Structure 1
């Protein structure tokens, strides 16, 4: 008789796994321990998540994606504000979250196991893909408000995301840096915003004329 998968069971697995990963880290966690705490079998666990690595990515995405989306989803509502203020604020918070250890580990695993269970697509859609959509919506709204000038908001969103991550994400992913100081975050984000506004910003005089 085929086992019936339920969303409630899936959420219970994610919740239990999050507790174990938090206590023991990825390397110190086993599927046996998660199943034991869950009160079920490893077979049931594997029926939902084919590997410990995939389970970790889903757990990390659930935490990091919610934090990031809660932070950036109001960006389009700030289209009338000074874009420098909006982007600096978002950039600082974004870099801190995407460069933390769990987020970086999830990124590494998604790259390494991307074709297993469509993990790469799952990671992209739940993380960067959602962020890019919000960025594009903000850029389009800010362009209509006369504060930015982007003929292709979707392309500009990719540029913005790449600029924010250019000095930190790959170095963390490749384990070249153990951490990023608040000072480094500030300098990195400021440079990224400067470059973005050099390409897509509107001179203050032009903004005043439109207003």
Structure 2
């Protein structure tokens, strides 16, 4: 009898695996437990993912993709708007998403096991890399519109993301301190954006460009 693979079944496996990896970590998780929670057999599970490590890579990829899905759709079209308003709005969207529990767990697992199946690169390309690309396009468009002044939009995008995460990056990666509240996230962004604009805002009329 031929087993038919379906997207719904694959999604159910990934949803279950997310919870198991979150609770057990990569080393403590097992395909047996994932299959048991799913209510199926290990044979079915292996039919979709031939190893625990490959399943783990797909779980991380799924979570990373959720971080940015639909988040930047209209960012580039806002190039003529006030940069402080635009960057504050999208910066808060980004930080609230990447600091959600599932995203934080996936980030820590990717850091710990980045060499498995090139997971570190896969996770970066699906999550943070997409943010860099979106902000690069926005900064380039805003520079052409005279709202920003960035000779290298890609470098400026990296600077922006580093500033947005500057107050919480170590707490997130090293897992210390209290949980980061929504208001604290907003305050981090409110403080980061003016620093970015101090370097990259277009000179105002009458100001000398440096």
* Structure 1 residue 194 displacement after superposition: 0.7
Structure 2: runs of 5 or more not aligned: none
Q: In the superposition, relative to structure 1, how do residues 126 and 204 fare at CA in structure 2: closer, same or farther (>3 Å)?
A: same
- Give the 5 Å matches for 1:100-111: 100-111=100-111
Counterpart of 2:12 (choices 15, 18, 21) is 15
Structure 1: runs of 5 or more not aligned: 1-5
TM-score for both structures, normalised by structure 1 = 0.81
- Give the 5 Å matches for 1:29-178: 30-36=30-36, 37=38, 39-40=40-41, 41=43, 42-47=45-50, 49-50=52-53, 53-66=56-69, 70-178=70-178
* Contact residue 31 and residue 45 of structure 1 kept, 8 A: no
* Contact residue 105 and residue 173 of structure 1 kept, 8 A: no
TM-score for both structures, normalised by structure 2 = 0.82
* Structure 1 residue 131 displacement after superposition: 0.8
* Structure 1 residue 178 displacement after superposition: 3.8
CA separation in 2, counterparts of 1:204 and 1:76?
22
CA separation in 1, counterparts of 2:8 and 2:174?
31
CA separation in 2, counterparts of 1:139 and 1:38?
48
Q: In the superposition, relative to structure 1, how do residues 185 and 59 fare at CA in structure 2: closer, same or farther (>3 Å)?
A: same
Q: Deviations over 1:17-71 (max 9, x none)?
A: 314645x6622564224334263425335416526643431332242232xxx12
* Structure 1 residue 112 displacement after superposition: 1.3
* Structure 1 residue 97 displacement after superposition: 0.9
* Structure 1 residue 206 displacement after superposition: 5.9
- Which SS does the other structure have where 2:186 is aligned? helix
Residue range with higher mean Cα deviation, 42-51 or 198-207: 42-51
Aligned length, in residue pairs: 199
